[in-house]
Every structure is written in C-alpha cells, then in structure tokens.
Chains A and B, each alone.
Chain A
C-alpha cells in the first residue's frame, strides 16, 4: 500500500526517493503537536478522494517550488508548525484557483490513459520532463511516453494510432496532413515544445573554414527531410551561394549516429538537434559553428502534435493534455526549471545522456568546441505559441524546395494546421488562473514579419518571397 505523502508533514520525505527506500518513520506524526497531527490525519483521510488527491499533488509542486528539497521543507514545517504553514502558503499562492482550473480540466476526461511518442532530443524537454516531473498527473492524465527511434517511425506510429499524440518536427503535421511522404491524415500543430535549440556543427578539421561560401562539396547530415533542420540548412547555404541539391550533399541521418559519422569523417557537419551538437563538443569531434537562433531568433523547431480526429473525439482530454504540456513548457523556460528539467531527463529512461551536457544546453552556458565559453540563455527557448508566420514560412519553404508540388495558399493552410488561437486562449486562461505562470510569447502578433538571416519575411507575401530566393524550385 502506498501512503499519501503530505507535503505539509515535517516527518517524511516527499520528493526524495532515497528517503522512501530507507523506509519512512514508524509513526509519521511523532513529535508533532496534537493539533498539527490532527490536521495531517484529516488531510490524509481526505486525500483518498480523487479530486482532493489532485489538490495535494498541486500543493506538493508548489511546496517543491518554494523549498526545492525535503530537508529545507521539513526544517521550515518543524519550526513554523503545520497549521501555520498551511495558512501561510495559502495566502502566498492561489492554490484554490489553480485547483479550480485543474479540477475543471479533470472533469469528463474522455480518455485518461494516453501514449505519447518522443524522439530523445532536448527539443522534447516539456514532453519528457513533463513526465519525469509529474505534470500530466496534475491534470488527471496517466501518460506513457515512448522513446522512438526516428522521425519516420514516429510518423508511422502516429498515423496508425499507436500514439495518441507525439513530439513532432514543425513541418511534420503539415507533411502528414498533405500526404507528403506518407498517407494523408489531418494532424495539427498544437503547441511548440521548443524554439531555437539547434546548431550547425562542423568537424574539427574545418575550424579554419567557417565561411559557407567555401563549403562546396561538403556533406551534411540532417535528422529528417521534413524538418526545420533541413529547411534552415538549405536556406543558410543557399544564401551563401550554394545550391543545396548540387553544391553540397544533404543526408538524412538519425541524430545519435551524427556524432559517429562526424568522427569517422563520413560527414563534414550537420544541422541537428541537441544534445548531439553539444555532444560533439563533449566528445571533442566537432565544434559549434553557429547556433540556429543566430539565423532566426525564436525559430520554431519541434511541436506537440495531435490528430484532428483525436481532438474532435477527446476535447476535454485535449484541453487537459495541452494545459499540462503548456505548463511544463513554461516551467522549462524558467531558470530553475532549466536545471530541474535537465536533471530529470538524464536517466536511461529518457535521454540517456550525461547530465552535464544537458545542463550546458538548457542553461546556455557551454563551451563551443573552439575554445570559447558562451553564455546564451536562449540557446534553447520554450515559447509554446505556434505562430502563423512560422507555419507560412515552413509551408512556403517546403514549396521552395519542391517537397510540395502545387502552389498553395500558405496562409490559409497554415491557419488550418497551426492551432494558434486555441493555444493562445489556453495560455491566457492559465496565466489568469496562476499569477506565477508567464508565457512571454502569449500576446505576440502571430502574423508579424520576422527577420531570417537578415531578410524580412512577410507571411502575406510568402510566394513573392520564395520566388525571389536563390535556387528556388518554384520557377
């Protein structure tokens, strides 16, 4: 039998797993005043009801945010007393409104047991860390996250219904909806799970050859055809006067194999997700030539995707799932969150990477492999709002390189595939409910022009834009 672990009990460890393994105290109420012991007993009894259990989970996370460790929490409770602490915490944090929202979301869930796919890269931080840190449970969801070998398999498992939802690359829901490279099934971009967070890595031998104009004949690796990586790399070399289809070679290589391919000099470099960029530095086989945020600030990368069918059949579950992922995304963006998420994702069950690499990536304090130490706090960002500008850019770039054939109305299509409005509403509602929650991107203009490699991209003029680009396959 598992005991409810009350975060207001000074006698027990709530978050520390080792404490549990050693066995809790024989009497969890030993040494407490009669009043405090009584309050705790009552709370324990109440917690058997599911809706109260939910509240307790929320309280626990609030307490964890306050005290970080069991030791400091227990010390505080011992000195202040349980009853006083309960009252004090309730005045500082609007537990009740958080609670109300969580309970609202938990009502009438069509489906509580869910399977989500993820590819083990730091882009999936909110989805993975959300699991490790219990964000899904807060909204009554029992989520299994399944590590997936690559994007093609991810896509196939999404299409055949093995995954209820998945970590996908921004262009993937579009390709899947259009039936490009697979059977057509309408999928939606629900939210960004990250922005930025990629880099161009080159082999050490090219340290003195960092001008893309001189890269003719280079072999590059990207993780998937329908990826931001492919589109950004093409855009980058094209701007330097190289035809990405003729002057360089772009290969699809699974991310973990990129480091090995770089070491064995099968490729000259790659535009890939972390941790495999920082890993190349850690293993001293390559260096970071450029972070992708230097190409496009706050560019999209990976998203959380759901099928139109799932959204239609499970509106409340979709709401709860979106809320939990948005909350995890916001938590990952905070500076404390970055460290906590990095630590939670290191084990074999998740990313299976040395924790220091993950910390370097998430905190943005890292060696670049060229002898420099960099401090780029937004090296990876967690801005969940998927904008129409992003959708339009991706669709038009897919057209530019002939991945989609017919000239389409990019803006209308993006409107249909990218769930900007619903997600923004959710973000607003969450910020109203919890004053401590911030989404810096919630109120941005989703049609705003963006600067990409020094050029202004105006979504309403997407066609003219790609027509004017070098090596465009539209003409």
Chain B
C-alpha cells in the first residue's frame, strides 16, 4: 500500500513536471524556419541595380530575408559583400525595426526547455573543461564554490559551536551577548561584502569571511539555545554521577542539545550556499555564482538557468546531508 502510494506520488510529480515543461516549451518555442525570402518589385530591383548592387548580391541578400529599405541603404553606403561579412554577416546587419508583425528577436524570448536541455546536456557531459581563467566547466566552478563554503562554514562551526556552548552554559553571557547577536545576525551578506573588501582587501578572503560571518549566527544562537534549554534533570543526572564539567558537556549536554545544534547547522549551510552565490556574483573570478553572473553578462539566459539549476541541486544535496545528520542525532523524550 505504502509502496503504491510512493509510486503514485512519484508519477504525479512527473506528470506535473511534464505538463509544466510542455506548456513552457509550447509558449517559448520559436521554430527556426530560417529567413523568409523577400521578393522585390521590378522597380525596387532596378533602383538597387542603379546603385551598383550586383544582381547576384541582391539575390543572396533577399534570400536572407533582408528588406528593400535596408538593401537600399547598403547600396547607398556602397557596402561590399566583404565588408558585410567582416561586420558579422547580412542577417544581423539587415535586422529591421520591430513592429507588431515582426517575429520576436533572438534574445527577447525566455529560453525553451529544449534549449535549456541542450545546454544542460553539454555542461553535464563536459563538466571539467578549462578554456581559460574566465571559462571553466561547471564541475570545476561548483568545486570552487563548495571549497569556499566548506572552508568558511567549517571555520564558523569551529567558532560558533564552542562559543555557543559557553554562552549557553552561562546565563550571564547569554543575556549579555544577546543584543550583539540580535543586531549582527540579520545583516545581509551583500552588506558585509563591501565592508570585508574594504577591511580585509583580498576578495578571496573576503568571500570566506562573508560565508563565515553569515553562517555563524544560526549555529551560535541555536547552540546557545540548545545548551541553555537542556533539561535540568539530565544535568542533575550528570551531577549525581559526579561527571566532570568536560564529560558532562560531551556526554550529556552535547547529545541533549545536538538536535537544536544540528538544526542551526542546517540553517547555516543553507545560508552559506546562498551567500557564496551572491558573493561570487559580486566578486567574480571563479565559482558557480560567477558563472551565473558571466552568463547573465552575455545575456545567455539558457546557460544561466542551467547554472541556477545546479545551484538548486547542490543546495538540496547539502540540505539533505544535514537532514540525515539531524535524523541521526534526534531523540524522543
């Protein structure tokens, strides 16, 4: 019964996805019919020939869908086939002014799923190419982002968890530090970035710092809260068994607060992943955030969506990993 429920929900998910993709494809698909030949009147033809445009050229240009208005200008400017080719070809040059009847321009439509699929396939099949410092495979770029997240996040955990422990175990510290934490916590990563760039200078260290500082707070507050709210009974058990402070922390408080701490860690890793993308978009160079910016810069929406898809999948994987950890340390009272 449960099996069949799973199967049915999976089928429903697939059906929803398929229908979204289908609608998306239908609404955004532009059939590449190629240029529609323009037919010139006898008079127009004559005027072009008068301006020394060869009939061979006229035939070629009209076959590429260039209208008389443009052809007349080309003829007046005396632009040769060579010049036109050097300038990127007749089709791009002969682009006419958009009106209600004109087909949408190549960059004006949202990319269709099929187009995105092609780019997705290209990136998945060749994830580790290096075509220069500014153009590397998505695999390498995700690697850069992950590395930054791991370093910044680990540093944050190394600071936040022990510090959270101390704060949680001391009600005085908890109360004294709370206002600072409350003020610093909601500061956006994008606000930290210029401060970091200004004070630290190095942009790589700045990105690490921003990840560090943004993933610090949820872990710190959750650890402190988790530790502070460990049931006094359990602490009393530790006390009546004469456990040292160190052992109490490790064998009673840590496992008791673990679910809250791991929840904080899970929130933090999500934030860290959000932050790295923002930081890389700002600082550039490497990383999946830089890829998004770079594709945006080239107005390649299809490739940008692929990058965004990767960001989502990576974020989900990171979250799933912590969800597992969360289940591992959970307990029922």
Contacts and interface: CB of A to CB of B under 8 A. Distances in A.
In the complex, A touching B (Cβ < 8 A): yes
A359 interface: yes
Interface string B95-126: 11110001011111000000000000000000
A287 B95 CA distance: 12
B79 interface: yes
A282 B299 CA distance: 12
Contacts of A348: 131, 134-135, 294, 298
B295 A146 contact: no
Contacts of A184: none
A373 B96 contact: no
Nearest to A352: B298
A386 to B, nearest CB: 27
Contacts of B135: 347-349, 352
Interface string B296-327: 11111000000000000000000000000000
B31 interface: no
A282 B93 contact: no
Contact of A284 (B108, B201, B282, B284): B108
B133 interface: yes
Interface stretch (A148-156, A290-298, A310-318): A148-156
Contact of A365 (B79, B106, B290): B79
Interface residues of A, number: 59
A374 to B, nearest CB: 8
A369 B97 contact: yes
Interface string A145-175: 1111100110011011110000000000000
Interface in A106-134: 120
Interface string B168-212: 000000000000000000000000001001100111000000000
B84 A352 contact: no
Contacts of B2: none
Contact of B93 (A257, A355, A365): A365
B74 A373 contact: yes
Interface in B60-98: 69-70, 73-74, 77, 79, 83-84, 86-89, 91-98
A349 B290 CA distance: 12
A284 B131 contact: no
A360 B134 contact: no
A363 B86 contact: yes
A359 B98 CA distance: 22
A259 B93 contact: no
Given A157-B203, A256-B297, A370 B97 contact: yes
A147 B74 CA distance: 36
Contacts of A342: 88
A260 B298 CA distance: 12
B34 interface: no
Contacts of B197: 153, 156, 160
Interface in A303-352: 335, 338-339, 342, 347-352
Contacts of A284: 95, 98, 102, 104-105, 108
Given A147-B294, A373-B70, A283 B203 contact: no
A359 B70 contact: no
Nearest to B92: A356
A236 B87 CA distance: 29
A144 interface: yes
B100 to A, nearest CB: 12
A372 interface: yes
A330 B189 CA distance: 43
B87 A363 contact: yes
Interface in B266-308: 281-285, 290, 293-300
Nearest to A342: B88
Interface string A174-186: 0000000001000
Q: Considering residues B97, B105, B194, which has the most beta carbons from chain A within 10 angstroms of its beta carbon?
A: B97
Contact of B97 (A144, A160, A364, A371): A371
B203 A282 contact: no
A256 B87 CA distance: 22
The 5 A-B residue pairs with the shortest CB-CB distance in the complex, in nearest-first order: A356-B88, A352-B298, A160-B201, A349-B132, A349-B135
30 contacts: A120-B297, A148-B284, A149-B283, A149-B290, A156-B198, A156-B201, A157-B203, A161-B201, A256-B296, A256-B297, A256-B299, A259-B107, A259-B299, A279-B299, A281-B95, A282-B92, A285-B105, A347-B131, A348-B131, A348-B134, A350-B132, A352-B300, A356-B89, A356-B92, A359-B86, A360-B92, A360-B93, A365-B83, A366-B93, A372-B73
